[in-house]
Copies of this chain bind each other. A is one copy, B any other.
Amino acid sequence: MGRAASETALLQPFKTGRRTCAATSAIIRQGERQERIYHVQSGWAHRSSLLSDGRRQILDIVLPGDFIGLDWILGVEISYSVEAITELTYDVFGIVELEADIALPLLRLAALERQRLDLHMISLGPRSASERVAAFLIDCRDRLAARGLAAGAIFPLPLTQQHMADYLGLTLVHVNRVLRRLAERRLVTLENGEAVIHDMDGLMSLAAADHERPGTLPV
């Protein structure tokens, strides 16, 4: 993201190293205390919360260029886990005593992250399943494109349907059916960890409002 470029530069003095971790391993574990900030260089991850009954809500999808752990500042136990989806490489920033001159860029990063959360809540609140899926795919493409990681309407999507379900607040089975319908209508297809948007306009209008509204039945 171009916008984060200056923030990144200001953080450089605090960089303490680069790490790699394998798919499915955890970078931050729910309940631990946080003392670092991470900056993802490549790979996908998710930030999620586990409920006591086993249900899971994925709060955010983390893409290359995103930061993790901006709320280390609270100094409390973290209430979520961050888990790699693919192999992940990331820079580590050890910010023990925070210098005032980097507080400002961090604040900007936190605000950006919140914008994303707002949008996600709008998906989870009033939107139907197909609206959610459509909006999600468009959102992924846009975020990847902004980082130069999408080739036009084609982009990598290394998520299982279970991931999407947990992110969108749906069940795996239902996500599957919705994806199938989107493919049948030639809007998007998912294959081999790649998504191809065939009809961006159609997908966008579906995301904005589900036009497949039930017609009023004759009496």
Is A161's CB within 8 Å of the partner chain B? no
Interchain Cβ contacts under 8 Å between A and B, 17 examples: A51-B122, A55-B126, A59-B118, A59-B121, A73-B111, A74-B115, A79-B115, A100-B100, A100-B101, A103-B107, A110-B110, A114-B114, A114-B117, A121-B121, A121-B124, A124-B124, A124-B169
Copies of this polypeptide in the complex = 2
Cα of A121 to Cα of B122 in the assembled complex, Å: 10
Closest 4 CB pairs of A and B: A103-B103, A125-B169, A124-B124, A71-B111
The count of chain A contact residues (Cβ–Cβ below 8 Å) is 41
- Closest partner residue, chain B, to A70 (CB atom): B111
**Interface bits A93-132 vs B (CB < 8 Å: 1, else 0):** 0000010110110111011111101101110111000000
Neighbouring B residues of A117 by C-beta, 8 Å: 114, 117-118, 121
Neighbouring B residues of A120 by C-beta, 8 Å: 121
Cα of A108 to Cα of B122 in the assembled complex, Å: 25
Neighbouring B residues of A121 by C-beta, 8 Å: 57, 59, 117, 120-121, 124
Is A212's CB within 8 Å of the partner chain B? no
Neighbouring B residues of A59 by C-beta, 8 Å: 118, 121-122
